[in-house]
A and B are shown apart, each in its own frame.
Chain A
Amino acid sequence: MARPSDPQAMTPRKPGSTRTAPPQVPDDFWTQPRMRTYLLFDATGIVYLLVGLVALRVAWALAGGAPVWDALLRSFASPGYVIFHVLALISAIFVGVRFFRLFPKAQPAQIGPVKPPPPAVLHAVLYAAWGGITLVLLAVFGGIWP
């Protein structure tokens, strides 16, 4: 079965004399298995919005002085925040992997005289850069380096 699509979808700007029924999409357009990855990708936007709000809370706490800051750090140890941060980490990894998978084919065959490297090399560079930056950040925030 089907439901209406945008009534203007794929209609000519100047309607002709042909009588038509409005465009439709299948009822399960958004729930078909092939759309799940895309919808999950879109849904991560909600997680990032929440991460942004938490970042604002962190900035607010910084301005509030030591007691407020300590209270914030204690609240981060609560199960709710731990689950949220794990969810944020999974979202970031999911979006990163999807982006890295699709990135090579988004590169034009040639820009002026420059040609992109083969997809396998691009993948390797992206994952190496990701891993490297993660290690540096872990070292900085873990107090190991500098």
Chain B
Amino acid sequence: MADSGELRKRTFVVTRFDPDKDQVPKTQSYEVPCRPEWKVLDALNYIKDEIDPTLSHRWSCRMAVCGSCGMNVNGTPKLTCKTSLAEYGDTVEVAPLANFPIIRDLVIEMDGFMEKFKAVKPWVIVAKEKAAEEGTYRQSPEQLAAFKQFSMCINCMLCYAACPVVAQEPDFLGPAAIALGHRYNMDSRDEGASERNEIFRGEGTVFSCSYANECSEVCPKHVDPAAAINQSKLLAVIDWATSFVVKREK
């Protein structure tokens, strides 16, 4: 146990919202004695355990895998379990992820995200399933490499909080959903690319992306959704042009 000399007092300005009492979110400040090795999540847990048990926030794995603890820290979307307090000064602002409706305090509503997620058909589509006796679907390391990066997404939604297009165009499918759709389009076992490309060209189109690249900057898993979106643009156009030449079965 370290002595108290190692503790540093920081002020946490935390967004609070109680749907039973508040019309709009407000902020509340807490003084927290922080240990040098603490992450932002440790401070939030301290507030919840020691100062104010009414504070609501999501977290689970504490190792940047579950994607639950995404919040805006000093205005930038971060996984709070991965963000060291050493990066910050005496005042730290913690807010719910930007661009999402707020259920309570730091907890956001994910239903809109799940709708967009489902819209891109994130599963392997095949015209005819292989019979069991035909064996497993095989994939070479090279074929895996074509999409592996885009399959590393943990659905933390930081990219949606950073995207300037999501902030202004509610229909935009958004970075994570498009990256996931692109992941399946690049999968050698999948035959659903033309279906997804039609979605990519339709409402919430990939062409709404103005390549700000912010989604890739904040992605904690280096998925690079901006790359996926802009690769999807080209492939969606090629697919559209090809549809005039090659007849497709519906």
Determine if B227 and A26 form an interchain contact, defined as CB atoms under 8 angstroms apart. no
CB distance from B140 to the nearest CB of A (A): 12
**Residue A108 at the B interface, CB < 8 A?**
yes
Which residues from chain A contact B27 at a C-beta distance below 8 Å?
1
Number of interface residues of B (CB under 8 A): 52
- Residues of B at the A interface (CB closer than 8 Å) are 15, 17, 19, 22, 24-25, 27, 72, 75-76, 93, 95-96, 98-103, 109, 111-115, 145-147, 160, 164, 166-170, 174, 186, 210-214, 217, 224, 226-227, 230-231, 233-235, 238
Interface of A is mostly: loop
Which residues from chain B contact A38 at a C-beta distance below 8 Å?
164, 210, 212-214
Name B76's contact: one of A13, A18, A32, A108 (CB within 8 Å).
A32
**Residue A75 at the B interface, CB < 8 A?**
no
Number of A-B contacts defined by CB within 8 Å? 134
Cβ-closest 6 pairs across A and B: A106-B230, A20-B101, A8-B170, A26-B75, A12-B111, A10-B112
Task: Give the complex CA separation of A130 and B101 in angstroms.
Answer: 46
Which residues from chain A contact B96 at a C-beta distance below 8 Å?
24
CB distance from A95 to the nearest CB of B (A): 12
Which residues from chain B contact A6 at a C-beta distance below 8 Å?
99, 167-170
Which residues from chain A contact B101 at a C-beta distance below 8 Å?
10-11, 20-23
